[in-house]
C-alpha cells in the first residue's frame, strides 16, 4: 500500500500571510509559505468562532457546518479528499464496489483506537451508520448521505459490507464528510445528551470540556495514530497541546480580539477585515465549501417567477458584480455555476449572467407586466409585481444581506416590489415550508456533484414530513430527473461528468438560479500560527499539523 | 463677672445680590454678651437677627466687617477657618431652630452630640450620654443610640441643647430654639435656657417672639431691616418702649388683648384700642342659632385613634377656638367638619341641615355656606392660576377662570381683605406670606359663607403680619356675622379671637367652655398644664 | 414592629410577587401562536416527526388540562425546576446556574464603577459654580443618553483597536472585564449622579450640616459624615432599579463583548423561541430584583430604622 | 433656562422637527438609493458622514432616519403613556383594593428589567418595527403608571383639590380646572423624557436584529449594520450613534426644563 504524506492527502486551501516579516522574528524573515523553522510542540491554539454555538458536538445530530468545523478536530471519517479532489481512504484502508453497484466493501486500517481506548473495528461502521439512521439521533445531513444503505454486514474484525437499495457512486464522497464521522460504538450507546457533550472519536484532539456560551476545550489525543503514514512526522501526535474553541458571535469583536492577539484564529472573517488583514500581518485562509455555490433560487412554482421571462428580467435587473465588488472586495470571486469551484464537475456559463436594465424592462413588458401603480411598481391584471425573499440571518452574513438589499433597490428600478424578510432559522424554514417566498438563498454543503439531485430533482419538491424540501427553485423537468438519477448510478466516470454537465446547463439556461459566489469560508490567523492550510473534505481547516511560534 | 464674653461693635454683613448689587443683611450692629446673662435679639423675618447670631460663630457667610468682634478675648475679625472651628467646637456653641432637621436623621444622636470631641470613640459616646443626662433626657443610654426621627420633639430639642453644652461652652447662641414648638415644650426649653445662665454662660437668644424672649432675657435688642432699632433692659423694653416699631411689636402680641380690639395700629397716631370695643360688641346680635353642630365625631387611621367622640357647636356669628398641641386631632376634626374626610361615626349639621354623613352631591348645596383657610395658603392655590383666575374660579363655581363678568366682584373681594387690585395679574408665589393669606381669605369669602374653618391661619406669619390678619378676620366677622372655627396651638391667639374655647388632646375634647373660664379657671388637668406653660405676660397695655 | 416580623412580611410579599410573575408568564405562554410541542422540537423547520411531537407533548405535559399544567408548573417552580431548554436540551436551572456568576460579576463591578463615577461627578458638580453645575448636568444627561451598544463599540475602537490597551473580549482576566463593566457603568452613572447631586446639595445646605459646622466640623467632615450618607441613600434606594437596568444592559454588553451570561442566553432563547429559557430568565430576573430590593430595604432599615417602619412614628 | 439655553433648545427642536417632517430640506438625496461603486467612502465634503456598504450616503440616512426613530420612540412612549394614564387614573380614583391589586401587578412588571421585558414580548410577537414599538411601550408602561399614579394621588389629596371641594366645585370641574391642566404638564415632561429612553430601547432592539429591519434608515438598524464594519468604516457606527445620543440627551434636557417650569 502506498504511503502518502498526510499533507499531500489533504486539500491544500490557499493560504497566504501578509507582510514580509513576522512580528518579533526580526531577521528570520520567514513567511507562511516557507517554514518558520522547525515545528515546535506546545501551546494552546485559541480559535474564535462566529457561528452559533452548536447544540451538540456530535455531528451526526442534525449536521450543520459549525459542527463539521469543530468535529474535524476530534473525529475522523472513513474517506477523505486529496488535493486533486479525488476521494481517497482515510480510516478505511481500502474499499471495493460490486459490479451491480449495490455492495460496497470497506476494510479498516488496523491499529487505530478511540479516545476511550477501544479499538476501531468493523463493528464501528455498523454502529455509526445505524446511529445516523436512528430517528432518535435526529440526523439530517448524515442521514441523507447514508440513505441508500440498507444493511451493514460484518465480514471480519476490520471488514464490513454495505448493502445498498440502489447504486450510489457518491457513497464514498458522502462518507468523507464529517457528518458521517466514525465514533466509538460504546460512546454512541450512551444517552444522546451525553454523547452531545463529549463525542468520542479517533481524531488528533479530543473534547475535554464545554463551557456553554463561552468555549469548548479540546486537548491533544496522546494516543493518536495517523491512519496514513507521514514521513515528515517524527511521531503521530499533534503539535498543539490543545485548542480553545471560543464563541465570539460579534464579527467586529472577533476581529478586534484577533488584532490584539487574544485569539489566534477567527472564522467567518468579514470581507473588510480580510482585505485589511494584509496590512496587519495577519494570515488569511480561504477554504470554499464543497457542494452547491451560494446562489439565489427563483421559485418557479408560482407567479411571477413561473414565467421564465420574469426570472430573466430579475437577473438582468440586478448588479451582482458591482455589489460583490463593493461588499466582498476581492475575497469572493463571482460564480456562474451551480456548484462550488472546488467541485471538479462544476459547469459554468458566464455569458448567461450580465446586467442590462433596458433588457429587463423589455422582458417585463413582453411578459405583460406593463401597468404601473402609484409607487411605480409594475402591474398585470391588477396584480402587483411583488416578490418576497426570506433571508435567514443565521445563514446569510451581513455582507450578503447588504447585497440582497442592493438587489432590492435595483429591482425596484425596473418595477419589482421586492420585500426582504430577515428571519431566524426556524421562521425561515417555516416560510419555505409554506411556500411563502419567490426568491431564496439556501446554501447546501455536500461533497460531490450528487448534491445536484438533492437540489433539482423534482422529488425534492415533495416536502419531507417536517415540511422541508431542498428543491427551492421548484425545478420540475422529467428529463432532468432522469439525467440526475442516471448520473448517480452510472459506474462510468466520463458518463457521469457528461450527465452532470447536461443537468447543470438545463437549470442555468432556464434562469432558475442566479449564482453569486462560492460558499464563503474565510479564516484569519495571527503570525504566530504556522502550518495552516490543510482542510477536511468539507473544507474545514485541520490543526493537526499546525503549531505556534513562541 | 462683668467682663464681656463677646463684644461686637458695628458689625455689618453683606451678601452679593443680583448682578452687582449688594444686600446688606446686617448694618452696624453692636452689643455685648456677659457671662451669666442672657441677651435677647428680637426681630421679624428679614431683620438680620439670624445672620447676626451666626456671625458669632463665623458662619454668617457673605462679607463680614466689624470695628470690634471680640469673642472670649480673641479678635475674631480675621480669624482663619481652622481657629474658628476650634472656637465653635468648644467655647462657643449654637442651638439651632428646627430640631427635626438640625440632627442628621441618618446618624445616632450620640454621634451628632459628641463627634466634635477630641476623645476616643467610647469616651465620646460616654460623654454624649452624660450630656443627655444633664439635659434630663429620659433614658439617656437608650436614646443615645437612636436617631432623631425616633425621638419626640422635646427629646430632639434636649439633644440639641446637649450637643451645644457638651464642650462646656462659655457662650451659647440659641437661634429660634423654640419656634414651632408646642406651648409646653416651649416652656421647657425656655427653662433650660434660663438654667444655662445660672451656670454662668453668656447666652444670646434669638427669636421673633418677644413674649418668649422676655421670659429669659436680661437685656433685649430689637432688630429691623438689619439694624438695631432699640436696645435696653428687658423690663424697660416691655414697659417703656421708645421706638415706634417696638411699640408696634408689643401691640401686635395678642395675649391679653380683648376680642375685636385691633392689634395692628399706628402707634404714633395714638389710637385708643378700647375705643372700638363697645361698638363692636354692640353690633353683635346675641342669637341662639347654631351655625355648626358636631356630635360624636370619631376617626381611626389604622390602629391610631385620631379623633375620639368629639362634639362641639358654634353659634351664629361666634368664634370657637380649638386649641391643642400637634397631633391632638385638631386638623382631622376640621377636615371632617368640612366633609373632606369621612368620619367613622358622628354627624355634622350646618344650620340644622345634615352635612355629614352625606354624599358629596347632596352636600354641595350647603357648600356655599362653609369655607376654609389653611396654614399654608400657597399649597391650596393652583400654581397655574393668577390671583384673578383664583378669585374668578371661586366666584364662578369653577365654571370659568377668565370671564370678565366676575372681575368687579373679584376687585371687591380684594378690597374686603385690604389688598390692592394691582395684584390681580400676579401669581400667588409672587406674593408675601401675609398677602397670600389675605388672598386665601378673599377666596373663601367668594361664595359669601356663613362659616369659616380656619386651620392655623396665622402660625406661619410674623407677629406684625399676624396682627393685621387677625384684625381683618375680626372686621369680617363684625361686618358679616360669620361664624369661625379657629384652630391654633397658640394660646395668645386663641385668647384674643375666641368666644368659646375647646381644648383637644390625644383626639379627645377634654374641656369646652367660654373663653374667660377656660383661660382663667381651667378644670381639666391638661388645660391647667397648658395654661401654666403659657408665657406670663405682664406688660402695661395702656402705654 | 420587630425586625424579624418586618423581614418575614417582606419575604412573604416578595414570594407573592414571584408567584404573580410566574402566573403572568404561564398565561402569556399559552398565547404563543403555534404548537408548543413544535417549538420544543426547534420550530417548524426542525423536521420533527409526529411521534417526536407526541413524545414532546407527553414530556412537557401539554396534553393535560390547563389547570393541571398550571399546577404542575407551579409545583416544579417551587422545587426550583424551571423546565428544560427547548434549544439546549438541558435543564434551564442548570444553564442559568452556569451563566449567573458571569452576569453577576459584570453587573456588580459595573454597579461599583457607576457608583464611584456618579459620586465623584456629583461631588465635583455640587461644589462648583453655577456654570460648573450646568456642565455637570449636561455631562450627566449625555452619559445617561448613550446606548450601551454604541458606547461598547466606541470603547472597543478606542481602547482596543487604536490604543491596544485593553482586550476587546472577555479574557477571564481583570483587564477583560474593564471595558464591558465601564460600558455598562457609564450610562448608569449618569442617572445616579443626577440623583446624588440633588441630595448632596440638599444635605450640604441642610440645618444639620449647619449644626455640624457650628460644633466645629470642617467642610470635609461635613461632607463625609453627612453629605455622603444623604447622597448615598437615594442612590441606594435606586439600587433595585439599577440592578434591573444593568441586567437590561448586560444583554447588549454581553453580546458586544462576547461574554457568556444570562443576557446572551436570553437573547439566544428569544431568537430561537426557547420559551422555558425565556420564562426561566424572566422569573429569575424578577427574583434578583426582589432579592436586591429586600437587601436594600434591610440595609436602609439599619441606616435609617425610623424610615423603614414609618408607621411607628 | 438662560436665554442662550432657550435659543439652543429652540434650534434643536426646530432642526429635529424639520428632519422628521421634511427630511428632504436637509438632505435632498434618497436614503435608499444604492451606489455599489461608492461603498465605504470615508467622510468628505460630498458625503459629510461617509457612505455605507451599499454606497448610500450616511448623512442622508441619518436625517431621513429621524422620522423612523422618532416615530418609534413617540409611538412606544405614547403606548406606554396611554396604558399608564388609564392605569394611573384607575389606581388614583378607584377603591383601595383595586388600587392595591393594580399596584401589585405593576410591581410585578416593574420587577422585570425593561429590555428583558421587551425581549420576552418579542419572543411572543417575533421581530419587527411594530413588535418593537409594542415591546418598548409595554415595558416602559409600569414605570410611567407608577409616576402618574403618584402624581394623580398627590393632586387628588392636595390642599388645592380640598380648597375646590370646600368651594363646592363638582368632581368634573375639579378634574377639568386642576387635574387635567396640572397633569398635562407632567405628562408632557414625562413624554419628553421618555422619548429619549424609548429611542434608545428601540434602537437597542434594532441593534439586536429584533426591531426595524434594514434597509430602513432607522438609527439602531444602521448601527447594527455598521458594527460589522466597525474596524473598517468607523463612520458607519459613529454618526447614527451620535444621532441617538443627541436626540436622547436633547429630549432629556428639554423634559427637565419642562418639569422645572411646571413646578
Q: C154 — phi, psi (to 5°)? A: -65, -45
Q: Are B234 and B313 part of one and the same domain?
A: no
B128 occurs within a structural domain: yes
DSSP-assigned letters across all residues of B87-149: HHHTTEEEE-S-HHHHS-TTSBHHHHHHTTSSS-HHHHHHHHHHHHHHTT-SSHHHHHTSBGG
Closest Cβ–Cβ partner in C48, C156, C264 for A253: C156
Residues of D with Cβ-Cβ distance to B447 under 8 angstroms:
167-168
- Choosing from B378, B413, B445, the residue where a domain stops is B445
Cα-based distances in Å from C228 to B308, C219, C222, C240: 44, 12, 9, 20
Task: Delineate the domains of chain D, giving CATH numbers in brackets.
Answer: 57-262 (1.10.3720.10)
Residue A124's pLDDT is: 95
Is pLDDT at A464 greater than 80 in this prediction? Answer: no
SS3 sequence of C158-199 = HHHHHCCCCCCCCCCCHHHHHHHHHHHHHHHHHHHHHHHHHH
Mean pLDDT, residues A143-148 taken together: 87
| Tens of pLDDT, residues B232-285 | 998 888 888 888 888 888 888 887 788 888 888 654 444 444 434 444 454 555
pTM of the model: 0.77
Q: What chains are in contact with C, requiring at least 3 Cβ pairs below 8 Å?
A: A, B, D
Q: Are A177 and A446 in contact (CB under 8 A)?
A: yes
Cα-based distances in Å from B81 to B61, B64, B113, D3, D164: 12, 14, 21, 39, 53
CB contact C16 to D (< 8 Å): yes
In whole numbers, what is the pLDDT of chain A averaged over residues?
A: 87
B349 occurs within a structural domain: yes
Q: Are B113 and B224 part of one and the same domain?
A: yes
Mean pLDDT, residues C201-213 taken together: 84
Give the residue ranges of DSSP H helices in D22-57.
Answer: 23-26
Q: Are B426 and B460 part of one and the same domain?
A: no
Write out the three cell numbers for D6: 432657550
Paired strand residues for C306: none
B256 occurs within a structural domain: no
Write out the three cell numbers for B390: 383664583
| Tens of pLDDT, residues B313-359 | 999 889 999 998 877 889 899 999 999 989 999 999 999 889 988 88
Residue B439's pLDDT is: 93
Q: Which residues in chain D come in under a pLDDT of 50? A: none
Q: Is D119 helix (H, G, I), strand (E, B) or coil?
A: helix
pLDDT band at C313 (very low <50, low <70, confident <90, very high): very low
Residues of D with Cβ-Cβ distance to A325 under 8 angstroms:
36
Residue C38's pLDDT is: 65
Residue A114's pLDDT is: 96
Closest Cβ–Cβ partner in B57, B104, B149 for C214: B57
Point out the least confidently predicted range of A241-245, A506-510, B203-207, B489-493.
Answer: B489-493
Q: Do chains A and B touch (3 or more CB pairs under 8 A)?
A: no
**Quick one: closest CA in D to A427, which residue?**
D126
Is pLDDT at B71 greater than 90 in this prediction? Answer: no
Interior/surface letters B217-252, b for 16+ CB within 10 angstroms, e for the rest = bebbbbbbebbbbbbbebeebbeebebebbbbbbbb
B92: closest CA among B189, B181, B8? Answer: B8
Paired strand residues for C276: none
C257: closest CA among A488, A254, B517, B87? Answer: A254
Q: Are B323 and B456 part of one and the same domain?
A: yes
Residue A178's pLDDT is: 94
B331 occurs within a structural domain: yes
State whether CATH 3.40.190.10 applies to domain A6-287+521-548: yes
Q: Is D251 helix (H, G, I), strand (E, B) or coil?
A: helix
Cα-based distances in Å from A285 to A90, A518, A521, A523, B441: 24, 14, 8, 5, 89
- Please state the domain count of chain B: 3
Half-sphere exposure of residue A62, counting CA atoms within 13 Å on the CB side?
16
Mean pLDDT, residues C287-312 taken together: 65
| Tens of pLDDT, residues A11-69 | 444 444 433 333 333 333 334 444 567 888 999 999 999 887 888 899 998 888 889 99
Residue C1's pLDDT is: 52
Is pLDDT at A165 greater than 90 in this prediction? Answer: yes
Q: A48 — phi, psi (to 5°)? A: -115, 115
Is pLDDT at A166 greater than 70 in this prediction? Answer: yes
Q: Do B116 and C305 touch (CB under 8 A)?
A: no
Q: A284 — phi, psi (to 5°)? A: -130, 130
How many Å apart are CA A99 and CA B351, to the nearest integer? Answer: 121
Q: Which position has the higher pLDDT, A29 or A528?
A: A528
Interior/surface letters C152-167, b for 16+ CB within 10 angstroms, e for the rest = bbbbbbebbbeeeebb
pLDDT band at B108 (very low <50, low <70, confident <90, very high): confident
Residue C136's pLDDT is: 83
| Tens of pLDDT, residues B412-454 | 999 988 888 888 889 998 888 889 999 999 999 998 999 999 9
Q: D2 — phi, psi (to 5°)? A: -75, 170
**Quick one: closest CA in C to D124, which residue?**
C32
Point out the least confidently predicted range of B50-64, C80-94, D150-164.
Answer: C80-94
Q: Are C42 and A138 in contact (CB under 8 A)?
A: no
Interior/surface letters D6-24, b for 16+ CB within 10 angstroms, e for the rest = eeeeeebeeebeebbeebe
**Judging by beta carbons within 10 Å of its beta carbon (0-12, 13-18, 19+), is residue A214 exposed, middle or buried?**
buried
**Judging by beta carbons within 10 Å of its beta carbon (0-12, 13-18, 19+), is residue A84 exposed, middle or buried?**
exposed
| Tens of pLDDT, residues B403-418 | 788 888 999 999 988 8
Q: Are A367 and A312 in contact (CB under 8 A)?
A: no
Is pLDDT at C192 greater than 80 in this prediction? Answer: yes
How long is chain B? Answer: 543
Q: Are B222 and B146 part of one and the same domain?
A: yes
Residue A249's pLDDT is: 79
Cα-based distances in Å from B532 to B191, B456, B527, B537: 13, 22, 8, 12
Mean pLDDT, residues A150-174 taken together: 93
Q: Are B326 and B433 part of one and the same domain?
A: no
Residue C304's pLDDT is: 61
Is pLDDT at C258 greater than 70 in this prediction? Answer: yes
pLDDT band at B134 (very low <50, low <70, confident <90, very high): confident
Residue A316's pLDDT is: 95
Residues near B220 by Cβ (< 8 Å), separated by ≥ 6? B39, B40, B41, B42, B210, B213, B214, B231, B232, B233, B234, B237
Paired strand residues for A80: A88
Q: Are B149 and B298 part of one and the same domain?
A: no
pLDDT band at A278 (very low <50, low <70, confident <90, very high): confident
**In terms of residue numbers, what domain contains B146?**
6-251
Q: Are B432 and B457 part of one and the same domain?
A: no
Q: Do B85 and C303 touch (CB under 8 A)?
A: no
Q: Do chains C and A touch (3 or more CB pairs under 8 A)?
A: yes
Domain positions in chain A are 6-287+521-548, 294-517
Residues of C with Cβ-Cβ distance to A55 under 8 angstroms:
87-89
How many Å apart are CA B33 and CA B15, to the nearest integer? Answer: 25
Q: Do C52 and A256 touch (CB under 8 A)?
A: no
Q: What is the CA radius of gyration of chain D?
A: 21
Q: Are B416 and B454 part of one and the same domain?
A: no
How many Å apart are CA B413 and CA B424, to the nearest integer? Answer: 11
Interior/surface letters A90-109, b for 16+ CB within 10 angstroms, e for the rest = bbbbebebeeebbbbebbbb
How many Å apart are CA D207 and CA D226, to the nearest integer? Answer: 10
Point out the least confidently predicted range of A429-433, A449-453, A460-464.
Answer: A460-464
C269: closest CA among D135, D140, A442, A55? Answer: A55
Q: Do B394 and D174 touch (CB under 8 A)?
A: no
Amino acid at each position: 500500500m502506498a504511503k502518502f504524506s498526510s499533507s499531500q492527502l489533504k486539500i491544500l486551501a490557499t493560504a497566504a500571510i501578509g507582510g514580509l516579516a513576522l512580528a518579533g522574528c526580526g531577521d528570520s524573515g520567514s513567511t507562511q509559505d516557507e517554514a518558520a523553522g522547525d515545528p515546535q510542540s506546545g501551546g494552546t491554539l485559541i480559535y474564535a468562532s462566529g457561528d452559533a454555538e452548536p447544540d451538540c458536538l456530535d455531528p451526526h445530530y442534525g449536521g450543520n457546518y459549525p459542527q463539521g468545523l469543530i468535529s474535524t478536530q476530534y473525529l475522523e471519517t472513513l474517506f477523505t479528499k486529496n488535493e486533486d479532489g479525488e476521494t481517497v481512504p482515510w480510516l478505511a484502508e481500502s474499499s471495493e464496489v460490486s459490479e451491480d453497484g449495490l455492495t460496497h466493501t470497506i476494510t479498516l486500517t488496523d491499529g487505530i483506537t478511540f479516545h476511550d481506548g477501544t479499538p476501531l473495528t468493523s463493528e464501528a461502521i455498523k454502529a455509526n451508520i445505524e446511529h445516523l439512521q436512528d430517528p432518535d439521533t435526529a440526523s439530517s445531513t448524515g442521514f441523507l448521505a447514508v440513505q441508500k444503505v440498507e444493511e451493514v454486514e460484518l465480514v471480519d474484525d476490520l471488514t464490513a459490507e454495505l448493502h445498498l437499495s440502489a447504486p450510489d457512486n457518491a457513497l464514498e464522497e458522502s462518507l468523507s464528510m464529517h457528518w458521517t464521522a466514525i465514533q466509538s460504538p460504546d460512546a454512541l450507546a450512551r444517552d444522546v445528551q451525553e454523547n452531545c457533550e463529549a463525542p468520542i472519536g479517533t481524531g488528533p484532539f479530543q473534547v475535554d470540556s464545554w463551557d456553554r456560551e463561552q468555549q469548548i476545550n479540546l486537548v491533544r489525543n496522546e494516543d493518536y495514530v495517523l491512519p496514513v503514514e507521514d514521513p515528515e512526522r517524527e511521531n503521530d501526535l499533534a503539535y498543539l497541546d490543545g485548542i480553545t474553541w471560543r464563541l465570539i458571535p460579534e464579527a467586529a469583536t472577533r476581529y478586534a480580539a484577533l488584532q490584539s492577539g487574544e485569539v489566534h484564529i477567527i472564522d467567518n472573517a468579514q470581507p473588510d477585515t480580510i482585505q485589511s488583514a494584509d496590512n496587519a500581518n495577519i494570515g488569511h485562509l480561504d477554504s470554499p465549501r464543497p457542494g452547491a455555490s451560494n446562489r439565489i433560487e427563483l421559485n418557479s412554482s408560482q407567479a411571477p417567477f413561473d414565467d421564465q421571462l420574469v426570472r430573466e428580467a430579475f437577473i438582468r435587473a440586478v448588479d451582482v458584480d458591482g455589489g460583490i465588488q463593493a461588499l466582498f472586495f476581492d475575497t469572493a470571486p463571482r460564480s456562474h455555476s451551480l456548484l462550488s469551484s472546488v467541485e471538479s464537475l462544476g459547469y459554468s456559463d458566464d455569458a448567461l449572467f450580465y446586467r442590462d436594465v433596458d433588457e429587463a424592462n423589455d422582458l417585463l413588458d413582453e411578459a405583460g407586466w406593463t401597468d404601473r401603480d402609484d409607487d411605480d411598481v409594475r402591474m398585470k391584471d391588477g396584480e402587483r409585481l411583488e416578490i418576497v425573499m426570506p433571508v435567514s440571518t443565521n445563514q446569510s452574513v451581513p455582507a450578503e444581506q447588504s447585497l440582497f438589499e442592493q438587489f432590492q433597490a435595483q429591482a425596484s428600478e425596473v418595477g419589482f416590489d421586492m420585500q426582504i424578510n430577515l428571519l431566524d432559522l426556524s421562521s425561515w424554514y417555516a416560510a419555505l415550508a409554506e411556500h411563502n417566498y419567490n426568491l431564496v438563498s439556501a446554501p447546501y454543503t455536500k461533497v460531490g456533484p450528487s448534491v445536484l439531485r438533492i437540489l433539482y430533482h423534482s422529488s425534492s419538491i415533495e416536502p419531507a414530513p417536517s415540511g422541508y424540501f431542498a428543491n427551492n427553485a421548484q425545478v420540475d423537468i422529467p428529463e432532468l430527473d432522469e439525467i440526475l438519477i442516471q448520473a448517480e448510478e452510472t459506474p462510468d466516470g466520463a458518463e457521469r461528468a457528461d450527465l452532470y454537465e447536461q443537468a447543470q446547463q438545463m437549470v442555468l439556461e432556464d434562469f432558475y438560479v442566479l449564482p453569486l459566489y462560492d460558499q464563503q469560508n474565510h479564516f484569519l490567523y495571527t503570525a504566530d500560527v504556522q502550518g495552516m492550510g490543510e482542510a477536511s473534505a468539507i473544507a474545514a481547516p485541520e490543526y493537526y499539523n499546525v503549531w505556534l511560534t513562541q | 463677672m462683668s467682663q464681656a464674653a463677646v463684644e461686637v461693635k458695628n458689625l455689618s454683613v453683606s451678601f452679593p445680590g443680583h448682578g452687582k448689587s449688594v444686600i446688606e443683611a446686617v448694618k452696624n450692629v453692636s452689643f455685648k454678651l456677659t457671662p451669666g446673662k442672657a441677651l435677647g435679639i428680637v426681630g421679624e423675618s428679614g431683620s438680620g437677627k439670624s445672620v447676626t447670631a451666626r456671625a458669632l460663630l463665623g458662619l454668617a457667610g457673605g462679607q463680614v466687617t466689624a470695628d470690634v468682634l471680640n469673642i472670649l478675648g480673641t479678635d475674631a475679625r480675621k480669624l482663619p477657618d481652622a481657629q474658628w472651628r476650634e472656637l465653635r467646637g468648644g467655647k462657643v456653641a449654637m442651638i439651632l431652630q428646627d430640631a427635626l432637621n438640625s440632627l442628621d436623621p441618618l446618624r445616632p444622636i450620640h454621634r451628632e452630640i459628641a463627634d466634635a470631641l477630641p476623645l476616643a470613640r467610647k469616651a465620646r459616646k460616654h460623654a454624649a450620654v452624660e450630656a443627655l443626662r444633664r439635659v434630663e433626657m429620659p433614658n439617656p443610654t437608650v436614646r443615645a443610640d437612636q436617631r432623631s426621627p425616633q425621638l419626640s420633639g422635646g427629646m430632639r430639642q434636649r439633644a440639641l441643647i446637649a450637643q451645644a453644652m457638651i464642650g462646656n461652652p462659655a457662650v451659647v447662641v440659641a437661634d429660634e430654639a423654640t419656634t414651632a414648638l408646642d406651648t409646653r415644650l416651649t416652656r421647657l426649653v425656655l427653662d433650660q435656657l434660663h438654667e444655662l445662665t445660672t451656670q454662668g454662660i453668656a447666652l444670646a437668644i434669638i427669636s421673633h417672639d418677644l413674649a418668649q424672649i422676655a421670659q429669659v432675657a436680661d437685656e433685649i435688642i430689637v432688630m429691623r431691616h438689619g439694624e438695631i432699632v432699640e436696645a435696653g433692659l428687658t423690663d424697660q423694653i416691655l414697659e417703656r418702649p421708645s421706638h415706634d416699631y417696638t411699640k408696634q411689636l408689643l401691640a401686635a402680641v395678642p395675649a391679653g388683648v380683648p376680642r375685636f380690639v385691633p392689634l395692628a395700629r399706628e402707634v404714633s397716631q395714638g389710637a385708643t384700642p378700647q375705643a372700638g370695643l363697645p361698638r363692636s360688641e354692640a353690633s353683635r346680635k346675641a342669637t341662639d342659632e347654631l351655625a355648626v353642630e358636631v356630635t360624636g365625631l370619631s376617626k381611626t387611621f389604622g390602629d391610631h385613634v385620631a379623633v375620639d367622640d368629639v362634639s362641639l357647636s358654634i353659634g351664629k356669628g361666634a368664634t370657637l377656638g380649638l386649641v391643642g398641641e400637634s397631633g391632638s386631632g385638631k386638623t382631622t376634626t376640621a377636615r371632617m367638619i368640612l366633609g373632606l374626610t369621612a368620619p367613622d361615626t358622628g354627624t355634622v349639621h350646618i344650620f340644622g341641615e345634615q352635612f355629614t354623613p352625606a354624599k358629596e352631591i347632596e352636600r354641595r348645596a350647603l357648600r356655599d355656606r362653609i369655607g376654609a383657610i389653611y396654614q399654608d395658603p400657597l399649597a391650596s392655590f393652583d400654581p397655574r392660576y393668577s390671583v384673578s383666575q383664583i378669585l374668578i374660579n371661586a366666584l364662578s363655581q369653577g365654571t370659568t377662570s377668565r370671564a370678565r363678568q366676575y372681575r368687579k366682584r373679584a376687585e371687591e373681594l380684594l378690597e374686603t381683605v385690604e389688598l390692592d387690585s394691582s395684584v390681580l395679574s400676579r401669581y400667588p408665589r409672587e406674593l408675601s406670606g401675609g398677602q397670600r393669606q389675605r388672598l386665601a381669605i378673599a377666596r373663601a369669602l367668594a361664595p359669601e359663607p356663613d362659616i369659616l374653618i380656619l386651620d392655623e391661619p396665622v402660625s406661619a406669619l410674623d407677629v406684625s403680619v399676624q396682627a393685621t390678619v387677625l384684625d381683618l378676620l375680626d372686621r369680617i366677622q363684625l361686618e358679616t356675622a360669620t361664624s369661625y372655627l379657629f384652630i391654633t396651638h397658640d394660646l395668645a391667639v386663641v385668647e384674643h379671637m375666641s368666644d368659646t374655647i375647646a381644648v383637644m388632646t390625644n383626639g379627645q375634647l377634654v374641656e369646652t367652655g367660654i373663653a374667660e373660664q377656660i383661660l382663667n379657671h381651667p378644670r381639666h388637668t391638661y388645660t391647667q398644664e397648658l395654661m401654666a406653660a403659657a408665657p406670663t405676660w405682664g406688660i402695661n397695655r395702656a402705654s | 414592629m420587630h425586625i424579624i416580623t418586618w423581614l418575614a412580611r417582606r419575604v412573604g410579599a416578595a414570594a407573592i410577587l414571584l408567584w404573580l410573575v410566574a402566573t403572568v408568564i404561564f398565561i402569556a405562554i399559552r398565547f404563543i401562536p403555534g404548537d408548543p410541542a413544535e417549538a420544543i422540537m426547534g420550530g417548524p423547520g426542525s423536521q420533527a416527526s409526529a411521534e417526536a411531537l407526541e413524545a414532546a407533548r407527553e414530556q412537557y405535559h401539554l396534553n393535560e388540562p390547563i389547570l393541571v399544567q398550571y399546577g404542575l408548573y407551579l409545583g416544579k417552580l417551587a422545587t426550583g425546576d424551571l423546565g428544560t431548554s427547548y434549544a439546549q436540551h438541558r435543564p434551564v436551572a442548570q444553564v442559568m446556574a452556569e451563566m449567573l456568576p458571569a452576569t453577576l460579576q459584570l453587573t456588580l463591578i459595573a454597579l461599583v464603577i457607576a457608583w464611584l463615577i456618579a459620586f465623584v461627578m456629583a461631588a465635583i458638580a455640587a461644589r462648583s459654580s453655577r456654570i460648573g453645575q450646568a456642565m455637570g448636568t449636561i455631562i450627566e444627561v449625555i452619559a445617561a443618553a448613550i446606548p450601551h451598544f454604541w458606547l461598547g463599540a466606541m470603547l472597543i475602537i478606542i481602547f482596543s483597536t487604536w490604543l491596544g490597551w485593553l482586550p476587546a473580549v472577555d479574557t477571564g482576566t481583570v483587564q477583560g472585564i474593564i471595558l464591558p463593566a465601564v460600558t455598562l457603568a457609564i450610562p448608569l452613572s449618569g442617572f445616579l449622579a443626577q440623583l446624588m447631586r440633588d441630595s448632596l446639595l440638599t444635605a450640604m445646605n441642610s440645618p444639620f450640616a449647619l449644626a455640624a459646622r457650628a460644633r466645629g466640623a470642617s467642610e470635609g467632615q461635613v461632607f463625609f459624615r453627612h453629605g455622603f450618607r444623604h447622597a448615598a441613600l437615594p442612590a441606594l434606594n435606586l439600587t433595585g432599579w439599577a440592578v434591573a437596568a444593568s441586567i437590561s444592559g448586560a444583554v447588549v454588553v454581553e453580546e458586544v463583548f462576547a461574554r457568556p451570561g444570562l443576557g446572551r442566553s436570553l437573547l439566544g432563547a428569544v431568537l430561537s423561541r426557547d420559551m422555558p429559557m425565556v420564562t426561566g430568565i424572566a422569573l429569575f430576573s424578577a427574583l434578583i430584583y426582589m432579592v436586591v430590593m429586600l437587601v436594600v430595604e434591610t440595609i436602609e432599615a439599619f441606616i435609617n430604622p425610623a424610615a423603614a417602619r414609618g408607621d411607628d412614628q | 433656562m438662560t436665554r442662550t439655553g432657550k435659543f439652543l433648545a429652540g434650534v434643536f427642536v426646530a432642526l429635529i422637527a424639520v428632519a422628521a417632517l421634511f427630511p428632504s430640506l436637509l438632505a435632498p438625496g434618497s436614503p435608499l438609493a444604492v451606489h455599489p461603486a461608492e461603498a465605504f467612502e470615508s467622510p468628505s465634503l460630498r458625503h459629510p458622514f461617509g457612505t455605507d456598504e451599499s454606497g448610500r450616503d450616511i448623512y442622508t440616512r441619518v436625517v431621513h432616519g429621524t422620522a423612523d426613530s422618532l416615530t418609534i420612540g413617540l409611538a412606544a412612549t405614547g403606548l406606554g403613556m396611554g396604558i399608564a394614564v388609564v392605569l394611573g387614573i384607575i389606581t388614583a380614583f378607584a377603591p383601595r383594593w383595586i388600587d392595591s391589586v393594580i399596584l401589585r401587578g405593576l410591581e410585578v412588571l416593574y420587577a422585570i428589567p425593561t429590555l428583558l421585558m421587551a425581549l420576552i414580548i418579542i419572543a411572543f410577537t417575533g421581530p419587527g418595527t411594530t413588535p418593537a414599538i409594542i415591546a418598548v411601550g409595554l415595558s416602559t408602561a409600569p414605570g410611567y403608571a407608577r409616576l402618574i399614579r403618584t402624581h394623580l394621588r398627590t393632586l387628588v389629596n392636595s390642599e388645592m383639590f380640598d380648597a375646590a371641594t370646600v368651594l363646592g366645585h363638582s368632581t368634573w370641574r375639579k378634574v377639568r380646572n386642576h387635574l387635567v391642566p396640572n397633569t398635562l404638564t407632567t405628562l408632557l415632561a414625562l413624554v419628553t423624557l421618555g422619548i429619549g429612553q424609548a429611542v434608545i430601547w428601540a434602537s437597542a432592539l434594532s441593534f439586536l436584529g429584533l426591531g426595524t429591519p434594514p434597509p430602513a434608515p432607522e438609527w439602531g438598524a444602521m448601527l447594527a449594520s455598521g458594527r460589522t464594519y466597525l474596524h473598517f468604516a468607523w463612520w458607519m457606527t459613529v454618526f447614527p450613534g451620535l444621532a441617538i445620543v443627541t436626540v436622547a440627551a436633547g429630549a432629556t434636557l428639554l423634559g427637565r426644563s419642562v418639569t422645572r417650569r411646571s413646578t
